[in-house]
Every structure is written in C-alpha cells, then in structure tokens.
Amino acid sequence: MTSVGSADFIRILPELVLSGFALLVMMLEPVTPAGKKTVLGWVSVVGVILAGLAAAAIAFFPGSAFSASISNDGYSVYLIELLLLIALLTLLGSMAYLERDAIDHGEYYALILMATAGGAFMVASTELIMVFIGLEISSISTYILAGYKRGELQSNESSVKYFLLGSFATAFFLYGIAFVYGLTGTTNLDVIRETLVNSPSSANPQLLWLAVILMFVGLAFKVSTAPFQIWTPDVYQGAPAPVTAYLSTAPKAAAFAVLVRLLIGSFGHVASAGPLIFWLLWISAVLTMCLGNLAALWQSNVKRLLAYSSIAHAGYILVGVTAGGAEGTSSVLFYLGGYALMNVGAFILVAHLAGADERRTDVEDFTGLAADRPGMAACLTVFMLSLAGFPSTVGFFAKFYVFRAAMHAHLTGLTVIALLNSVVSVYYYLRLVVAMYMGEGKTQVNEASIPRALGFAIAVSLIGIFFLGLFPSGLLSDLTSLHVPWL
C-alpha cells in the first residue's frame, strides 16, 4: 500500500480550500437572515481568492499525488487558475442579479464553488476514475444551477435537458473508461500510454477505437461540439444568465483540458489510434464551426445567439486540439483563457441589461441602447468585437495562434474552413452592435446603473481582453514553456 503524506494534501490545496468554503457557505446559509444572502457571495469570493493563492503556491510543489491520480504540473495549475478566474467573475456578476430577481438562496454560491472544485479535480487528474468523479461533482452542481429559477418553465426545461443529456454523456465516458480498463488493466493515463506504446499488439485495435470514440463522445457532449451540441442553445437560454456565463466557460475549459490530456497526452501517442483521433477531431471541428456559425445567423435572442457562438468557439478550439503538439496545446490554453474573459463578460453584462426576470433578451430589445446607456453599449460592443476576433482584442490573437498552430501542423484545409467561418461570424456579432448604435431606441432601457461588483467584474474582463489583445506574447510564451507532462 502506498502511503499518503502531507505532500499529497498540499498538491490539492486549491480544491481543499474551495470545498471547505463551499461547506462553510452551506453551514452559514440557514443562519443568515433572509435578504442578507449576498454576504455569502462575498464569503465565496474570499474563498475563490484564497484558492487562487493556494494554486499559485502549489506551483512550487510540482509532482503527483495520491498514487499518481493527481498531477500537479504547469498545465493543471494554469487551468485551475483559469477556472478560479471564471468563478470569481461569475460570483461578482451574480450577486446583484440574484438580489434583483429575488433569488434569496446562499446555496447558489456554494454550488459555484463546488462546480469549480470539481472542475479543478478534472484538470489536475491523471486517473480516469478521478476525472470521472471531478466531472460528476462539477456536472451535478451545474445541473442544479441551470434550474435555479424554479418558478420559470424555461429554467426548469434547461435544468432537465442538461441533466438528461449530461448523464447520458457521462455514461458514454464511463463506458469508454471500462473498455480502456479492459484493454490495459489500468485507469492511470500515464500507465495506459506506456502499456499501449510499449506493447501495441496487446490491445485489440477495434476495441481501442471503440474506447476512444466513446470517451470522445462523452467529452464532446460536455464541450458542446457537433454533432453533440443540440442541447446547448436551450440550456444556455433557459438558465439564469450569470449561470450561463459559468456554464459556457468553466465546464468547457475543464472538459477541453481532459480532452487534450486524454487524446493528445495519452492516446495520441498510440500508433493504431492516431489517425482515428485525428479524423474524429477534424470532422467534429468542421461540423462544429459550420453548424454553430450558420445557426447563429438566424437567432433573434441574444442568449441563444451567444450559445451558438459558444458552439462555434468550441469548434475553433478543436482546430487547436487537432493541430496537437506543443504549439497546438499552448494555443488551446490561450484560447480557453481569452474565450473565458470575453464570454463571461458578455453574459454577465447581458444579464444586467436584460432587466428584471430577464424580460429583454431579444436583439430587438437592445435597439438604440447606445443612446440610453453609451457606457454599457460600448462594453458590450468590445465583447462582441472580441468574440468576432477583431485585432487589438484577445479574440484576434486567440484565433491567430490556433490557426497558426493548425498551419504549422499542415492542416491547410481545416484552417481555410476555420477562417471562412470566422468571417461569417462577424455578421451576427455586428448585428447586435448595429442594433445598439444605428437603431431608433424604441424600447427604453431603464435599468439602474451598473452595480459596483458587476462593474468590477466587467472591468477585469475588459482589461484582460485589451491587455492580451495588445501584449499576447507574454502569456503565450509562458504557456509554451509550461511544464506539460506528455510533451
């Protein structure tokens, strides 16, 4: 029996801090008087910041923990920090929203913390069972969050759809794990890679393909890539907008992290699985980009439009995953970071602009916004331009690095399709901008001025978008020199 020591616990310190604070918030919830639950939001913010410090500290203790089921490397530390940033922005953007719509429950904050802890376990684990547990912790929390407006049919629909399809996807993933265990006798990713690379004849290639396909399908559901993206628009539209901000970024980042660790890190090294993985990713990337962008053209609801846009972005990220290697991996990590900044920013701002009970979420409702609220319209414009990939915003360099990685990997066809897609996408992002600036303000936006916490969160994402849009090379070179164990 391998012994468990204090080093093991230090290496999961961020997750421990998050879980501890989630429990604390749950314990404080019943004793907090009604109407004062925002205090718990601030407790959670403190928890996320402490977890961020813990994640920065554990970067100095690289290595594996708990019988090699957790790997504390540069890759996992970066992604944990990213998940924490998403959680922080979501929490700051949620507090005023919950007050406005009279959602007086402290559990909301605890669920965000738990979902983040689950995501952190996912990105750090090198053991399929551990990945599965992390996936479940994060999924179950987000299923509840999606249905947080219990009185609204759409929110209930969102929760049930997310739950049913999510559990379905988890079952696929688990079935894949079972096949891998049957083939190699282990669930540890490093051992799986060694076993399959050193004795390729030991594994039946057809069964290996089946295992890879099943696990890919499971994760493809989570990152909403075609043809497994059907649930996304309904879920994103029905869930409360700050929850959508979280759903469209954090679980996606975590699932992409697992996808890269699994397909590039472990199975990509296996000669018999290489072409299969390549074509799976290639086809899925093309389908995702085309379906996401084409469907987004016809949307009249802003939340739905952003949902299709997030599908399209998952497609661009898949281009980076298809490219693989050191350059592909770092471009994917960069993209996940930039995408998180702009998407969380856009959704929490839309949550505010939509007004009480989110009554105004159609593109038409944003007509003439610039005349009433020039500041907010300008912020939303920046988010849209960044999502469209205009230069001087992070969206441009995120796409640029991914496409460059694809070109260097000789994926010319894929890059051309991706470029054409991002041209198409400009249309629907600009449609919202045009409505805000050119249209006559027929609907008055009487929303109160931006609450301070939300304003801070939006400012952070704006600064991030412009900083990374103007000086991207610093972060990229950091990401390139990250210690990624399989490279």
Contacts to other proteins by CB under 8 A: 1, 4, 23, 26-27, 29-31
Looking at beta carbons only, is 4 or 420 nearer to other proteins? 4
Looking at beta carbons only, is 107 or 358 nearer to other proteins? 107
> In angstroms, how far is the first alpha carbon of the chain from the final one?
30
Looking at beta carbons only, is 31 or 153 nearer to other proteins? 31
Smallest gap from residue 152 Cβ to other proteins (A) = 21
Task: Note whether 421 and 297 are within 8 A (CB).
Answer: no
Smallest gap from residue 117 Cβ to other proteins (A) = 13
Q: Enter the tokens of residue 95.
A: 């507090």
Between CA 361 and CA 365 the distance in angstroms is 7
Looking at beta carbons only, is 28 or 460 nearer to other proteins? 28
Between CA 155 and CA 231 the distance in angstroms is 13
- Cis link prior to 227 (omega < 30° from 0)? yes
CA 389 to chain centre: 18
Task: Note whether 76 and 59 are within 8 A (CB).
Answer: no
Smallest gap from residue 226 Cβ to other proteins (A) = 35
Smallest gap from residue 23 Cβ to other proteins (A) = 5
Looking at beta carbons only, is 1 or 448 nearer to other proteins? 1
Smallest gap from residue 176 Cβ to other proteins (A) = 20
User: Of how many residues is the chain composed?
Assistant: 487
Smallest gap from residue 275 Cβ to other proteins (A) = 24
Long-range CB pairs of 224-228 (<8 Å, 24+ gap) are 224/252, 224/310, 224/311, 224/314, 225/284, 225/285, 225/287, 225/288, 225/311, 225/314, 225/315, 225/318, 226/284, 226/287, 226/288, 226/290, 226/291, 226/292, 226/311, 226/315, 227/284, 227/287, 227/291, 228/169
Looking at beta carbons only, is 184 or 415 nearer to other proteins? 184
Tokens 């898949």, residue located: 318
Between CA 357 and CA 470 the distance in angstroms is 37
Looking at beta carbons only, is 29 or 364 nearer to other proteins? 29
Residue 105 dihedral angles phi and psi, to the nearest 5°:
-130, 125
Smallest gap from residue 164 Cβ to other proteins (A) = 19
Smallest gap from residue 145 Cβ to other proteins (A) = 18
Smallest gap from residue 182 Cβ to other proteins (A) = 11
Looking at beta carbons only, is 159 or 244 nearer to other proteins? 159
Tokens 């997310």, residue located: 162
Task: Note whether 150 and 166 are within 8 A (CB).
Answer: no
Looking at beta carbons only, is 9 or 279 nearer to other proteins? 9
Total Cβ atoms within 10 A of residue 451: 17
